[in-house]
Structure 1
Amino acid sequence: MSTIADNVLRVSARIRQAAAAAQRDEADVGLLAVSKTKPAAAVREAFGAGLKDFGENYLQEALGKQLELGDLPLTWHFIGPIQSNKTRAIAEHFDWVHSVDRLKIAQRLSEQRPAELPPLNICLQVNVSGEASKSGCTPAELPALAAAVAALPNLRLRGLMAIPEPTEDRAAQDAAFGAVQRLQAQLDLPLDTLSMGMSHDLEAAIAHGATWVRIGTALFGARDYGAR
């Protein structure tokens, strides 16, 4: 049975190969370990294998892990949908938020970010596939939202995040990730981040400029949602 360390090596090799194929520096592609539903022990094991960036979707679960793993120098990314009543804890306990899709949420995060902490790194989530079940602003809403968020004082707008409709069709993957890359290029802002690509499609995402790939299953195995 594969250990998390084995899986880190395998995923890192995929990132390296995809970056080479895209004529990119593999150092420009970060591996964000999606640890939602996984125990703190699995995060500790992944840290031992060289990872330090971890993505969580569920606030209470994440806060528990942060307490348990407070001895480790980890960087925490919130990557799930955000309710208004959760913004204070997210602003206080995370380094990155990848899933901002409304100005109201961004304003609350800015107002509630503690003064002693650096600006909160923000990605705007774009619903590039137009799926009704997915969070994210529309491509048409993006320019105004990006300009407004970039002006908020305690946030640093870094770029875009997307979760395209799942498919094994490489051409469809390329079309979706290419669309996100073009949307970012059209924004007249100093952005450096594209958070896109998961276990099944990281190669296509890297080909279209991903700087964070969010990997869960390929690192930790299938998720047990009943364990939450």
Structure 2
Amino acid sequence: MTDRRAELAQRLAAVRRRIEVASEAAGRSDPVSLVVVTKFFPASDVDLLAELGVTDVGENRDQEAAEKVTRLAHRERLRVHFIGQLQTNKAGSVARYADVVHSLDRPKLVGALDRAAGREGRVLDALVQVALDGAEGRGGAPPERVPQLADLVAASANLRLRGLMAVAPLGQDPHPAFARLHELAGRVRAEHPDAGWVSAGMSGDLEAAIEHGATHLRVGSAILGSRPSHG
């Protein structure tokens, strides 16, 4: 465990340095939040990250996350972000443990999560996911539907609209996609001033995301290493 803690500390410091350098290069002085993506990694790693000062962790598979969160020794220190595609029939489960949901991409899901959060007596932070490449299976609403979805989230009793989330297209330069996201985020923020979050950027493209205004980065492998085997 001591070796794993040292490994995580070293990797975490390297990523934080990348964020610092990229922010300086982009002329940004505003804070950029780091969400460490812990899918496929054990609760023990999440607890070590909390001890190392991490405040936000991301999960994208409900079955794994629901069980893992119950075993965290440092749950009170952490904000849990659900960042994966979400089926409406899983909304009730996610509403029990997630503090933030990044992947709202259709009206039916907004309604299901709002009702589920209400049953749990919770108000969840929520982001609308934007599809930047039109690829099947990656989730996200087409850009032209995003303003309407944002209005729907903002009007929900148990969801707090925080902003937008997107994943860069696979195998392409991320800059044009992140620039498009930045423009769309500005349009949403004009209508909803509190919706200033832009969740974009992962281990391989966080510098590009920071250049285009990302406020939240979702970084996994650069901190935790290669995924362990899983079922």
Question: How does the TM-score come out when normalised to structure 1?
Answer: 0.92
Measure the CA separation in 1 of the matches of 2:73 and 2:123: 21
Partner SS state of residue 4, structure 1: helix
Q: Deviations over 1:111-157 (max 9, x none)?
A: 11146755210011101122123211001111211112211111011
Corresponding residue for residue 48 of structure 1: 51
Corresponding residue for residue 142 of structure 1: 146
Pairs aligned (count): 223
CA root-mean-square deviation: 1.7
Partner SS state of residue 143, structure 2: coil
Measure the CA separation in 2 of the matches of 1:144 and 1:175: 23
Corresponding residue for residue 125 of structure 2: 121
1:219 aligns with 2:223: yes
Residues 176 and 83 (structure 1 numbering): CA distance in 2 closer, same or farther, change over 3 Å? Answer: same
1:176 aligns with 2:177: yes
Measure the CA separation in 1 of the matches of 2:225 and 2:153: 35
| Alignment counterpart, residue 36 of structure 1, candidates 35, 39, 48 | 39
Shift of 1:70: 4.6
Q: Answer yes or no: is the 8 Å Cα contact 2:81–2:101 preserved in 1.
A: yes
| Alignment counterpart, residue 159 of structure 2, candidates 155, 175, 178 | 155
Q: Deviations over 1:76-96 (max 9, x none)?
A: 010011111100111121100
Corresponding residue for residue 186 of structure 2: 185
Partner SS state of residue 198, structure 2: strand
Corresponding residue for residue 92 of structure 2: 88
Amino acid at match of 2:71: E
Q: Answer yes or no: is the 8 Å Cα contact 1:92–1:114 preserved in 2.
A: no
Measure the CA separation in 1 of the matches of 2:163 and 2:108: 18
Partner SS state of residue 62, structure 1: helix
Measure the CA separation in 1 of the matches of 2:127 and 2:60: 15
Measure the CA separation in 2 of the matches of 1:98 and 1:82: 9
Q: Which moved more, 1:62-71 or 1:206-215?
A: 62-71
Q: Percent identity?
A: 39
Q: Answer yes or no: is the 8 Å Cα contact 2:198–2:216 preserved in 1.
A: yes
Shift of 1:19: 0.8
Amino acid at match of 1:148: L
Q: Deviations over 1:58-113 (max 9, x none)?
A: 11211121111154321101001111110011112110000110111111111111
Partner SS state of residue 227, structure 1: coil
Q: Which moved more, 1:28-37 or 1:39-48?
A: 39-48
Q: Answer yes or no: is the 8 Å Cα contact 1:77–1:97 preserved in 2.
A: yes
Corresponding residue for residue 196 of structure 1: 200
Measure the CA separation in 2 of the matches of 1:176 and 1:76: 26
Corresponding residue for residue 108 of structure 2: 104
Corresponding residue for residue 11 of structure 1: 15
Partner SS state of residue 164, structure 1: coil
Q: Answer yes or no: is the 8 Å Cα contact 2:50–2:74 preserved in 1.
A: no
Residues 133 and 112 (structure 1 numbering): CA distance in 2 closer, same or farther, change over 3 Å? Answer: closer
